[in-house]
Amino acid sequence: MPTAIKILSAGAVKPGLTNVIDAFQRETAHEVKVKFATAPAILSEINGSETVDVVIAPPAVLDELVTSAKVAAGARAALGRIGVGVMVRDGATLPQIATVDEFKETLRSADSVVYNQASTGTYLEALFDRLGIGAELKAKSVRYPDFAAVLDHVRRGKSGEVGLGATTVILENSGKGVKFAGPLPAEIQHYTEYAATLMSMADSAARAKAQQFVSYLASPKAKSLFAAAGIS
């Protein structure tokens, strides 16, 4: 039975990566199995018992895995970068967020501000402090381990919830109970880079296939699929 390529990936790239995997499987007939997780969960799983061939995450996570000898230092395939966006429940009035002042007022007026505890959430927490609204928002901020729970909270909300997360996954779910209000203002926008690398495998039947997949991520076809999903 052919050996499948096992991938552990950050969830923010899912909209583009799923399409890239589909294209790769059609072109090569290699089977790919992918699991999505937050950056902290990726570190936990790799440092635990999880065995994968390729890991896709922000460079800082990959650097940490290099330090622990979980992945080899060397070439990585860059997928692109993803910004932070704002969403509200379907039926709610779209908030004004074109300027930093409008963005701050939208958060102050919200019934709750909902975001994750992963890479995006870490940036937002520091941003709110930098904007001078951290203490004010703390009492009404709701944090979840991943975007799925953030999405569910906003989707089931009354109307005054404002959710924040990676633009890719917000756009992917627009029309499914939430709508995309727009990206953060340019002055405070934050982009997270994502890259793929091979795990340190002494002897794996999937190694050659995994290397082929990582190389495929840099192909024009893959780049166009990532760009279409908002990863550039």
Q: HSE of 96 in the Cβ direction (CA atoms, 13 Å)? A: 8
* Whole-number Å distance between alpha carbons of 114 and 111: 10
Neighbour-count burial of 12, counting CB atoms closer than 10 A to its CB (0-12 exposed, 13-18 middle, 19+ buried): buried
Checking if the pLDDT of 202 tops 50, the result is no
Decide if 110 contacts 140 (C-beta within 8 A): yes
pTM of the full predicted structure?
0.88
Task: Determine the average pLDDT of the residues in 200-209.
Answer: 72
Token duo for residue 115: 């975001």
The C-alpha angle 77, 82, 83, rounded to 5 degrees, equals 155
Task: Determine the average pLDDT of the residues in 42-57.
Answer: 86
Q: What is the dotted CATH code of the domain comprising 84-188?
A: 3.40.190.10
Checking if the pLDDT of 70 tops 90, the result is no
Residue scoring higher pLDDT (78 or 203)? 78
Q: In this structure, is the dihedral angle defined by the CA atoms of residues 103, 175, 191 and 140, taken in order, positive or negative?
A: positive
Paired residues of 56 in beta bridges: 9, 196
> What's residue 207's pLDDT?
86
| Pairing assessment for the beta strands 112-116 and 161-166 based on DSSP bridges | parallel
Task: Determine the average pLDDT of the residues in 88-107.
Answer: 96
> What's residue 222's pLDDT?
97
> What's residue 225's pLDDT?
97
In this structure, which long-range contacts are made by residues 203-208, counting pairs with CB atoms below 8 Å and at least 24 apart in sequence?
204/3, 204/53, 205/3, 206/3, 206/4, 206/5, 206/6, 206/53, 207/53
Decide if 80 contacts 226 (C-beta within 8 A): yes
Decide if 113 contacts 85 (C-beta within 8 A): no
**Domain 5-81+194-228 class?**
alpha beta
* pLDDT tens digit sequence for 161-197: 999 999 999 999 999 999 999 999 999 999 999 999 9
CATH 3.40.190.10 placement within the chain: 5-81+194-228, 84-188
